Amino acid sequence: MKVSLSLSFFLVCLLFSSGLTNALLMLGHDTTSASMAWTLWLIATYHKVQATLHEEIDHVLGEGKEVTSEMLSELKYLDIVLKESLRVYPSVPFVQRELTEDVVLDGVTIPAGTMVEVNINILHRNPKYWEDPEEFKPERWENETEEKDPYLYIPFSAGYEASPPPFPAASGCFMIFFFLSFFFLKFSPRNCIGQKFAQNEEKVIISKILQKFTMTAVDKHVPAIPELILRPEAVKIIFKRRN
Ligand code: HEM
């Protein structure tokens, strides 16, 4: 009895942790690589932005090999470049939510229980809220004085969990796990848990590239592939070693 209990507990942990590992790998890898590809292409296209980044990186990193966490927090211009890049090209272009109450939109009532899609890509380019929405302008994030609605910029999502994750429900103690996760997640915020990690990862890689290279984009326009992850079709960049 003791053996079978600990065995089932072990199996539950294994299933739970492999799901979690998959989630972390899938959500952590594709999103960051798409964002990094767009950002490199944008930097390679906007030479003034690149020159400002070179100046900042030379000042903060110098010719050193290591990037420390103190250095990362000093790379302020790179911060807003990444922020603006995720505005124009959000790696996750839409999220879904279930309405918990009726919502009236332009005189039409959408009943509670409806699954709605929040299109982050369109939200980030809405001319009602963004000046020159199609333009890549990191400076728009400098000296922000005006209080903006926090739901206008949501590359890492926002809101609450509508339903439990699709853990395969079995029997016995696995069901307990399932219901616990349902209660726990149903009322907890739903957004990206890897936000800070992704930002730091991108900052390390991009600053190391720019420390050594000047980049020039080959194409003026790169089409986006509209899938679950908004990725560029192909990014071609010429890298030239800096003196
Ligand atoms: C630029 C990089 C990234 C972007 C734009 C991004 C975006 C998002 C978004 C929009 C969601 C929420 C989906 C929803 O509300 O339904 C999400 C969830 C998630 N992200 Fe990220 N993500 C990024 C990087 C990462 C990294 C590096 C990790 C892990 C190392 C990660 C782990 C996760 C996990 C586990 C969830 C699910 C959270 C939950 O179910 O409550 N993400 N991400």
Cα(111)–Cα(70) distance, integer angstroms: 49
152 pLDDT band, cuts 50/70/90, is: very high
Which residue, judged by its Cα, is nearest atom 26 of ligand 1?
28
The pLDDT tens digits of the residues spanning 101-111 come to 999 999 999 99
Ligand 1 contact via 92 beta carbon (within 6 Å): yes
Count of alpha carbons within 13 Å of 52, Cβ hemisphere only?
A: 14
Residue whose tokens read 């209990």: 5
Q: Which two tokens stand for residue 35?
A: 């964002």
Nearest to 125 by CA among 169, 89, 78: 89
* DSSP structural state of residue 218: S
- Do the beta carbons of residue 209 and residue 54 sit within 8 Å? no
- Give domain status of residue 168, yes or no: no
Q: Look up the CATH number of the domain holding residue 6.
A: 1.10.630.10
CA of 78 to the centre of ligand 1 (A): 21
Q: Whose CA is nearest to atom 18 of ligand 1?
A: 192
The average pLDDT across 207-213 equals 97
DSSP string, 140-183: GGTT--S---TTS--TT--SB--S-------STHHHHHHHHHHH
Provide mean pLDDT across the span 127-138: 96
Q: Which atom of ligand 1 is nearest to the CA of 201?
A: 27
The pTM of the full predicted model, rounded to 2 decimals, is 0.84
**CB burial of residue 42 (10 Å; 0-12, 13-18, 19+):** buried
pLDDT confidence tier of residue 169, bands split at 50, 70 and 90: very low
Select from 91, 196, 105, 202 the least CA-distant residue to 154: 91
46 occurs within a structural domain: yes
Which residue CA neighbors atom 37 of ligand 1 most closely?
A: 192
Pocket test for ligand 1, best of 27, 156, 187 (most atoms within 8 A of CB): 27
Question: Whose CA is closest to atom 41 on ligand 1?
Answer: 190
Domain count of the fold of the chain: 1
Residue nearest to atom 40 of ligand 1 (CA): 190
133 C-beta closer than 6 A to ligand 1: no
According to the model, what pLDDT value does residue 159 have? Answer: 79
- Residue 140 maps to a domain: yes
**How far apart (Å, rounded) are the C-alpha atoms in residues 156 and 19?**
21
Please indicate, yes or no, if residue 176 is contained in any of the structural domains: no
Q: Is residue 73 part of a domain?
A: yes
Range of the domain at 56: 2-92+124-157+192-241
| Closest residue to atom 11 of ligand 1, CA basis | 192
| Mean pLDDT of the 177-193 span | 66
156 lines ligand 1 (CB under 6 A): yes
Q: Domain for residue 88, yes or no?
A: yes
Residue 147, in any domain of the structure: yes
In a domain, 164, yes or no: no
